[in-house]
Structure 1
Amino acid sequence: MRTIVIQLALLVATGLFGRVSAQDSTRTLSGTQVLELVRKYHPVARQARIHVDKAQADLLVARGGFDPVLGAYVARKRFGGVEYYNRTSPEIVIPTWYGIEVHSGIDNYTGERLDPTMSKGQSSFIGASIPLGKDLLMDKRRAYLKQARIFTSMAETEQRLYINDLLMDAMEAYWGWVSSYNLYQVMRTAVAVNAERMGFVRKAFENGERAAIDTVEALSQLQSFQYQEMQYRMQFRNAGLALSSFLWTDSGAPYNLPETISPPAAWDDQQALKDMELDLNALLTIVENSHPALRVYDYKLRALDVEKKLKFQELLPKADFRYNHLSKGYNAFSSISESSFLGNNYQYGFKFEIPLRLSAGRGEYRKAGLKIMETRLSQAQKQLDLQLKIRQYYNEYVVLKEQISLQTLNYANYQKLLEAEQTRLNNGESSLFLVNSRENKVLEAQQKLIELKAKFFKTAYSVQWTAGLLN
């Protein structure tokens, strides 16, 4: 009888409460490795990079508005044997940043019935088109280019935001997998210990050292643990599937996490968090100054400010002035020194128009101002939400750290109670029922401790996520 109790005590001490050494022979997967894999290979991370490339392509499109344009007009009319006209007019137009367009070209008019306003023969011109009212300070080309530059920077910030959210989802799956794995291993060990115990109790019963009811007690405990083992195994497998959805190969193929891969043995070492920013005041400052979600709002406001300036142009009259200096032959500069600006060899035109009520312009300008106001309110609300969420996760982080310390002591106390109950059983002062009850309490405390530790690490990552630091 004494020998059996000592053997059981050794089994429990080395099996139930010791760390599982079998995982040393398996491959491990740490949270840092998961983050790196997700950053490199996850489709959402790749899509975020494509989003930046698209914004850069849009910037190239906007720059196209300032590309020089080469064009030509060729026309000819011949009717009833009469050469009315034959016209060849190539021209190049060079847009500039300040709304002025510089243009130059040549004309060649021949024929018997030319328009009297046309200069017969070869001529050339160089001149400019200048907006004097609307489009002088801002026009669509400048507005689109400015906004394209802003949107390119915003796309890079949005990429950080997408990656930040993606990595947090991956960490939730990872720590769920870590928790499930350790709970499953605890229950596997408990089943193994109780299977050995069942064998010892049955042998003791056969030798007349134990009552028959003790075999029923041992079997009931074993079956209860076997049932829980199946439950935890199912949870572990499902957690592995959830984590697998974030793991992809470099070739773009999904990767199914095998059961032979486990968390590192030191998964609960809090030194792993030493590089994280976990000071509340520093976190609040980071949120205010550099959180990607708030920076996106900054870029939106800058783009809306450009739009507002463009809409203001609708309140101005359209007054365009076009001037050409004319020269004989194909050298547009040949007569520049011979005549003054409006002295000779020139052509100009002036166009003026303005809507009498400016209804459309006033409406568009007012709407642009309202969009800015709406975006600022959304930014203020977002900033408040992030600050509150930071405080909530930080409070949870601090409490979990204290709970882990308390639960560790609680777990150690339950171990001592079990050891004491085993000693009493050894002295004939207790029963297998009481030992089983103590063992159940130890298991509950150990499971609770594992869940608290996994939640603690997940909360630490949640703090980083809320501050926008997971990228």
Structure 2
Amino acid sequence: MIRLTLLSLALLAFAPPAGAQEVIGLEQMLEWTLREHPIAAMADAVEARGPAELLKAKGAFDPKLAAAYDRKEYLGTEYFDYGSAGVEWQSPYALKLAGGYEFSSGTYLNDERTVPEAGQAYLAIKLPLLQGLLTDAVRIDRRLGDIAVERQLALANIIRNELRYDLSLRYAEWRYAERALQIARETEELIRIRLDNTIGLFEQGDKPAVDTLEARVALGSQRLTVAELKVDADLARQALAELYWPMPATARPATPPAEFTVLPTRPDWVSGHPDLLELQFTLSGYQLEQRLKREQLKPQLDVSYYLLGNGLDLPAGDDQFGGPFDRAYKLGATASYPIFNRKANASVQLGQLKITEGEAKLADKTQALQFKAAAYADASETFRQQFTDAEILVTQATRLLAAERELFSLGESTQFLLNSREQSLQKALLTAEKARFSLHKSVLTYRYVTAGW
């Protein structure tokens, strides 16, 4: 019988576990979540909008091809036949260049559109002399495109920072819930073993029946605590699984990583914080728009010069008609200016108000983040000291329980005192874990506030 029992114990000892638990670390979860989760995909899409906006702004400098054809014929009479084709290019500066070819024929032609029989090639230069000379909407949009790349990256990093914090905090809550459940289960097992021992001593006549009753009550109470903590652990696991989808049912948390307990040493975190960068780039955009609005206070005076040809020969004619640029050309100028120009003045005022609001938001956000960072740094040190003190209490409670068990085995203590010692140890263990969780939470929040991962 003894051999059979030993053989059974050996088989149980070396048998594979029925439900092997997989240890999952935070880095593994972060790697998957930041790559596969829809919120991470949204952050990637937000970041990709920046280059798309820049490409759109650059499109204003693409050469533009254009063609037009207009013909009228009535009862056998060709009234007119007009055609044109050309290309126009806006340079990165105020200058605009154009070139093309026009032809016309028919009985009734507009004098302005009449060209030589061979058609007429032309080269054109267009230049604003006042409004639009220093800057214009096209150039401002180009610079806004550069800002959009950085601003969208900052917005994407804001989303990633929040996602990383949310996942890390849920991981810390899951670890705390699992650890609290583990402590409660260990205490339950100790109480169960003591109950069995007490029953044995009672049957031998060494303990009164009331001791077995107290042990049973303690075991029942502890089982209720375990059931409650099991619910908390399951809820924490489900909350974590919302972000980390491939969460195994038997997973258990790993040892807390360094970012749970160590504050990052980044004194210059303000300069690289995504929330502040987003506000800075938004403010830079307001300032660029203000430049354009101030430019629109100027009068509009645009000039254009067309070098005309005969057919494809540029310029038309020969030297007897003058130099190459003054014997066949077309010159034009347009000017305009609103008498009161109230629209442009109001736009400048509104633009300045937007800049003021942007500066205020940036200053307020910077101040708020700095105060929060300092507060959570102080809180982390406080919780670190509390955790150290709680570990000392655990050591003391463990020693007291060991001494009480020794006295109980010698018959010099009671079941009530032993229960009190066990409850004190469990309370000390839970207090230590709570202090550890508070430390983890404060450090993670500090990293979130400073975006220092």
Scaled by the length of structure 1, the TM-score of the pair is 0.87
1:228-247 matched pairs, under 5 angstroms: 228-247=225-244
Residue in structure 1 matched with residue 67 of structure 2 by the alignment: 72
Measured after TM superposition, the shift of residue 135 of structure 1 is: 1.8
Shift of 1:38: 2.0
Structure 1 pair 273/92, CA: closer, same or farther in 2 (3 Å)?
closer
Tell me which residue corresponds to 2:204.
Answer: 207
SS of equivalent to 2:93 = coil
Match of 1:369 in 2: 352
- C-alpha distance in structure 2 between counterparts of 1:339 and 1:239, whole Å: 90
Secondary structure, counterpart of 2:252 in structure 1: coil
2:181 counterpart residue number: 184
Aligned to 1:297: 279
CA deviations over 1:122-152 (Å, ceiling 9, x no partner)? 1111111111122222222112121111111
Does the aligned pair in 2 maintain the 1:23–1:262 contact within 8 Å?
no
- The one-letter code of the counterpart of 1:58 is E
Give the structure 1 partner of residue 252 of structure 2. Answer: 262
Of the three residues 149, 152, 173, the one matched with 1:152 is 149
State the AA in 2 paired with 1:439. E
Residue in structure 2 matched with residue 195 of structure 1 by the alignment? 192
2-structure distance, mates of 1:98, 1:273: 50
* Corresponding residue of 1:404: 387
Q: Does 1:415 align with 2:394?
A: no
Q: Secondary structure at the match of 1:329?
A: coil
Which residues in structure 2 correspond to 1:427-442 (within 5 Å)?
427-442=410-425
* Aligned residue among 105, 108, 115 for 1:110: 105
Say whether 1:56 aligns with 2:56. no
Change (3 A) 1:23 1:174: farther
Deviation sequence 1:322-381 (CA, Å, 0-9, x none): 110111012335669774476320111111110000100001011111111111111011
Does the residue aligned with 2:103 lie in a helix, a strand or coil?
A: strand
Residue matched to 1:251: none
> Whole-Å Cα distance in 1 between the matches of residues 261 and 381 of structure 2?
17
* Structure 2 match to 1:393: 376
Q: Secondary structure at the match of 1:315?
A: coil
**Could you tell me which amino acid in structure 1 is paired with residue 422 of structure 2?**
E
Percent identity over the alignment?
Answer: 23
Name the structure 1 match of 2:444.
461
Query: Secondary structure at 1:143's aligned position in 2?
Result: helix
2:127 matched residue in structure 1:
130
Gap runs ≥5 in structure 2: 1-16
Q: CA RMSD in A?
A: 2.2
- Aligned residue in 2 for 1:5: none
Secondary structure, counterpart of 1:99 in structure 2: coil
- Separation of aligned partners in 1, 2:379 and 2:36: 32
Cα distance in 2 for residues equivalent to 1:333 and 1:213: 121
The CA deviation at 1:35 is 2.2
Equivalent of residue 47 in structure 1, options 34, 37, 42: 42
Instruction: Determine if the alignment matches structure 1 residue 331 to structure 2 residue 313.
Output: yes
Q: 2: distance between equivalents of 1:184 and 1:214?
A: 26
- Could you tell me which residue of structure 1 aligns to residue 342 of structure 2? 359
Amino acid at match of 2:185: R
Task: Out of 120-129 and 320-329, give the one that drifted further.
Answer: 120-129
The 3-state SS of whatever aligns with 2:301 is strand
Distance 1:276 1:161, change over 3 A: farther
Corresponding position of 2:9:
none
> Paired residues, what number?
434
List alignment gaps of at least 5 residues for structure 1: 1-21, 248-253
In structure 1, the partner of 2:28 is 33
Deviates more, 1:333-342 or 1:158-167: 333-342
Listed one character per residue, the Cα deviations across residues 151-206 of structure 1 (whole Å, up to 9, x for unaligned) are 11111122222111110111110000000001111111111221222222222222
Which of 106, 111, 115 lines up with 1:119 in the alignment? 115
- Contact kept? 1:204, 1:210, Cα under 8 Å: yes
Whether the 8 Å CA contact 1:276–1:464 is kept in 2: the answer is no
CA spacing shift, 1:233–1:98, aligned 2, 3 Å: same
TM-score by length of 2: 0.91
CA contact (8 A) 1:180 1:236 kept: yes
- The Cα offsets for residues 229-274 of structure 1, whole Å up to 9 and x where unpaired, read as 0011111110000111111xxxxxx33441x21122xx258xx359
